[in-house]
Amino acid sequence: MTATIKDNALFYYLLLILAWVPLPLGSNRPWSEMLMCIGILTLTIGWCVWFSVGKTALSKTFKKAWPILLLLSIANGLLYYQIYSKSSIDLESSYLELIQSICLLLLFALFLLIVNSAKRIKIAIYVIVASGLFQALYGSLMTLSGTEYTFFMEKEGYKGVATGTFINRNHLAGYLVICLSLGLGMMIASLKGSATSIREFCLHFLQAILSKKAPLRISLIIMVAALVMTHSRMGNTAFFVSMGIIGTITLLLKKRSIGSTLLLLTSLLIIDIAVVGNFFGVEKVINRLEQTSAKKETRDEINLYSLKIVEDNLLHGTGAGSFYTSFPQVREQDVGFLFYDHAHNDYLQFLTERGVIGTAPLLLSVILTFIISIYTLWKRKNALMRGCAFACSMSMLAMAMHATVDFNLQIPANAATFMVVLALGWIGRYHREKRKSEVVGL
C-alpha cells in the first residue's frame, strides 16, 4: 500500500531526543534516564496515533529488520521473566533495566520507521555529528580553560581531561568514536568515482574535503582532538584500529573511488595525529598506554571476581541491573572498599546479569548487523548507503573493542546512539528511495 508521509513533527522530535540524551551526564542518572525513556515512549505513542489515522506507514527497512527486532524482543522477554520468576536478586533495578531496554528497542524501531528518506538519513547523521562536535568543543574548552564543569555542575573527578557533559572520560570517548564513525561515513559517501589521471584524482579528493564538506572535515578534526584530550587509552586505540580495519575492508570491497578513500583515511591518521594530536596531548595517551600495568589497575581484579558471578549464575544471571548488588558478595580487599556499579567489561556485565541465555540474543543481533553492514559495503552501489554501512561497521568494531575494558553500553546515551548505529546498518542494506510522487515533506 502506498502511503503519504506526513510525520515531519515525529522526525524532528526524534532528532531532539538524539541531541538531548548525551547532555544530562550521558543520561546516566535515574532522572535523566527516565527523561530519555519518557521522550521515546511519547514518540512511540505519537507514531502509533499517526499510523492509526493513515499519516505514516511501516517502512521497508523496518519489515526487513524483523530478525533483529525479534532477537531484541526475546532479550526483553527474558528480562521480564527474571522479574516475574523473581530470579533477580535486585527486582527494582531489574524493573528499571527492563524499562530502559524496551525504550532502546523502541528507539531502534522508530528510527527505522521515521528515517525513511535519503534526506532524513543525512539530517539524522548530521545531527548526531553536530552533537559530537558540541561535546568535543565543550569538553576541550572546559579542559583548556580550567573551568571544570560537566552539565551545570562542577566536575568531581577526571579534572584535566575532556569529559564533555559526561561523567567519565571513557564514555565521552565512546560517544565521540560513534560520532566520528558517522562523520567518516558521510565523508566517504561524498567521494567521487575513480579518476583517470593524477590531476582528476587530486581534484576529486580536494573537492571532498574542501568544498561543501569542509565544515564536516573540520568537525572531524575537532572531535579527534577532543578524543585525544580524553586520554582514554582504549577509546583512542579503538578509533584508529577500527578505522584502519574497516577502511581496509572498504578498499578491498570497493570498485570505485579507492584512491580518494585511501587519502581521506590517511589524512585522518597523519594530519590529525601528527599535528592536532601532538598539540592537544597525544603523547599523554601514549604514556598512559606504556605505563599501564596489572599492578596499577584494579580492572583485572574486578573482572576476575565478576567471572565468579558468571560461573555461579551461568545460564540466567543474577538479574539485569544487579551488578551493584552481586559484586560485593564476591569481591576481596585487593579492589579496595569502593562500590562498583558496573564491571569494567560490557561482555562480563551482560553475562553476570543476564546469563548466557539472556546475552545470546543481544550478541546475535550485533553479529547479524555487522554481517549485514559488510555485505552492504560489498554489494550496494549507492554512495549514501555505503556510507551508512561504513559508519555502522566501524562503530560496532570500535565499541566491541572498547567493551573489553569499559562499560559504554551501560551508559544510556551511548547505548541509545549505538541503537541508531544498528538501525543505520539495516537502512544501508535495504533502503530504497520512493518515487517523488509518493513522498510529501522531507
Q: Which residue has the cell 568543543?
A: 137
What integer pLDDT is reported at residue 439 of this predicted model? 44
The one-character DSSP state at 380 is -
What integer pLDDT is reported at residue 207 of this predicted model? 61
Q: Is position 309 within any domain?
A: no
Number of domains the chain is built from? 1
Low-confidence ranges of the chain (pLDDT < 70): 1-6, 191-212, 255-300, 331-339, 434-442
- 124 vs 15, 100, 115, CA distance in Å? 6, 22, 8
User: pTM, whole model, 2 decimals?
Assistant: 0.89
- Range(s) of the domain holding residue 357: 8-297+321-438
pLDDT tens, 275-316? 555 555 555 555 555 555 444 555 667 777 788 888 888 999
What integer pLDDT is reported at residue 419 of this predicted model? 98
Q: Is 53 exposed, middle or buried (0-12, 13-18, 19+ CB in 10 A)?
A: exposed
Q: Is position 364 within any domain?
A: yes
* Cα 77 off chain centre by: 24
Q: Say what the alpha-carbon torsion angle 114, 119, 122, 125 is, to the nearest 10 degrees.
A: -20
Instruction: Count the helices and strands in the chain (H runs, E runs).
Output: 18, 0
Q: Is position 306 within any domain?
A: no
Residues ≥6 apart with Cβ < 8 Å to 54: 3, 4
Q: Is position 303 within any domain?
A: no
Q: Is position 190 within any domain?
A: yes
What integer pLDDT is reported at residue 441 of this predicted model? 42
What integer pLDDT is reported at residue 420 of this predicted model? 98
State the Cα–Cα distance between residues 276 and 266, nearest whole angstrom: 14
State the Cα–Cα distance between residues 360 and 16, nearest whole angstrom: 32
Q: Is position 255 within any domain?
A: yes
Q: Is position 315 within any domain?
A: no
Q: Is 123 exposed, middle or buried (0-12, 13-18, 19+ CB in 10 A)?
A: middle
Q: Is position 74 within any domain?
A: yes
Q: Which residue has the cell 546516566?
A: 28
